[in-house]
Amino acid sequence: MQTVFTASRLYSPTEEIANPLVAVEDGRITKVSSRTDQEAPGGAQLVDFGDAVLAPGFLDIHIHGGAGLDVMRAAPSELPRLGKFLASHGVTGYFPTTVAAPLDTTCTALDRLADAIEDGDNGDSVQGRPLGVHLEGPFLSHKRRGVHPPENLLEPTIELFDRLWQAARGHVRMLTIAPEIPGAMEVIAEAARRNVCVSLGHSDAQLPAAQAAVSAGARHATHTFNAMRPLDHRDPGIIGQVLTDNRLSADIIVDGIHVAPAVVQLFLQAKGIERAVLITDAISATGMPEGRYQLGPILVDVKDGKCTFNGSLAGSVLTMDQAVRNVTQFAHWSLQNAVRAATLNPARTAGLAGHGTLTQGSEANFVVLSAQGEVRKTVVGGRGF
Ligand SMILES: [Zn+2]
């Protein structure tokens, strides 16, 4: 059975199509055209979203939880609750992200997450799906560890990386690592060889170590500015490399708390519409009342939209649709370009083929937005209208 979706505009996201027609069969997009050029095909079910904008489903490549669930603790049967919450904010795919924890705890969590990833799309409900694991740690700098517990940080070795890889049954898609710690370069090279997106972060690296990491295979940077050696005009360090190297994409938390709006603007100008990636770094408290919430092995206090542990920022309660709207406000980016930073760019960064675009052959995962970027509906695998 073919379904054809229409609305007032579509962002592919590189192109804008007026009066789009998106034909979907068996969960995939079979054709994207415009009512301006052709009539809606007869015999298909037509779903009309009126004056709305169609955009690819958002992807969140750095998220620790939401709706009261922490991804390191949730049972596979609980994760759909997080998936539904994420879908209500336009997210159709995500990378559950670890926090540095005792190795056995991490491996148990990775085994559960691998189950959830392998379960795939097995139901009728509309939910964001876990597509791969992001290892945030344990290979982080003590100096820039943020709230990751110091006793859980480890020096990188290929053996340790392989143990995590095996626990996740090969579903590790991203690795945040500090390139300046001993052993990091070998692990960067090995992870890159296994098609993991190696992301520089939680790092006190100076410029040469950051450059060497890119030569070894690093391709991205994690929550730029946060948990990084600060930019100094005579000592640019890792941020100097991240902002100027076109081989690197980079992500940022645009909640107005982690990075000041003017610096978000600087970042977006530096990385541009092709390399800027939005993440939430959201924790279990997202979508919940203020209080005390789990983030991996630690308990975080949430008040006035701020998550803290011993006075340090500990993740966010940001949702991806809000991040997209914030980009349009902080940097005056068009909704189309802001959407790109939450869809195509993370898909390219993380090598997620079939995600992040509304083009022929892509999965029929999309979000129906108002002109202001409010989520009206989310469609996953052609379902949910
Ligand atoms: Zn994080």
Which pLDDT value is given to residue 249? 98
Stretch 113-122: mean pLDDT: 86
Kindly report the pTM of this predicted structure.
0.97
| CA 55 – ligand 1 centroid, Å | 26
Measured in degrees and rounded to the nearest 5, phi and psi for residue 123 equal -135, -175
* Average per-residue pLDDT for the chain: 96
Residue 257: pLDDT above 80? yes
Which pLDDT value is given to residue 36? 86
Residue 195: pLDDT above 90? yes
Measured in degrees and rounded to the nearest 5, phi and psi for residue 36 equal -65, -35
| CA 383 – ligand 1 centroid, Å | 30
User: How far apart are the C-alpha atoms of 54 and 205, rounded to whole Å?
Assistant: 41
- Residue 123's pLDDT band (boundaries 50, 70, 90)? low
Stretch 142-163: mean pLDDT: 96
Which pLDDT value is given to residue 121? 65
Side chain identity, residue 231: L
Give the DSSP H or E segment for 59.
strand 58-63
Which pLDDT value is given to residue 125? 82
The predicted-structure confidence for 329-366, as pLDDT tens digits, reads as follows: 999 999 999 999 999 999 999 999 999 999 999 999 99
Residue 41: pLDDT above 80? no
| Spatial CA neighbour of 265 closest among 220, 195, 330, 318 | 330
Q: Are strands 65-66 and 20-25 parallel, antiparallel or unpaired?
A: unpaired
Q: Are 355 and 337 in contact (CB under 8 A)?
A: no
Which pLDDT value is given to residue 39? 80
Stretch 140-161: mean pLDDT: 96
| CA 146 – ligand 1 centroid, Å | 9
| CA 206 – ligand 1 centroid, Å | 22
Stretch 279-294: mean pLDDT: 96
Residue 122: pLDDT above 70? no
Residue 246: pLDDT above 80? yes
| CA 7 – ligand 1 centroid, Å | 35
The predicted-structure confidence for 56-72, as pLDDT tens digits, reads as follows: 999 999 999 999 999 99
User: How far apart are the C-alpha atoms of 170 and 311, rounded to whole Å?
Assistant: 36
| CA 314 – ligand 1 centroid, Å | 8
Stretch 234-262: mean pLDDT: 98
What stretches of 248-341 show up as alpha helix (H) in DSSP?
261-275, 320-330, 335-340
| CA 209 – ligand 1 centroid, Å | 22
Residue 120: pLDDT above 90? no
| CA 2 – ligand 1 centroid, Å | 40
- The encoded tokens of residue 371 equal 């002109």
Residues of the chain with pLDDT > 90: what percent? Answer: 93
Which of residues 40 and 180 earns the better pLDDT score?
180
Which pLDDT value is given to residue 1? 80
Tell me if residue 384 falls in helix, strand or coil: coil
- Render the burial of 297-325: b for 16+ CB within 10 Å, e for the rest: bbebbbeeebbebeeebbbbbbbbbbbbb
Side chain identity, residue 3: T
Residues with a catalytic annotation lie at: 281
Residue 204: pLDDT above 70? yes
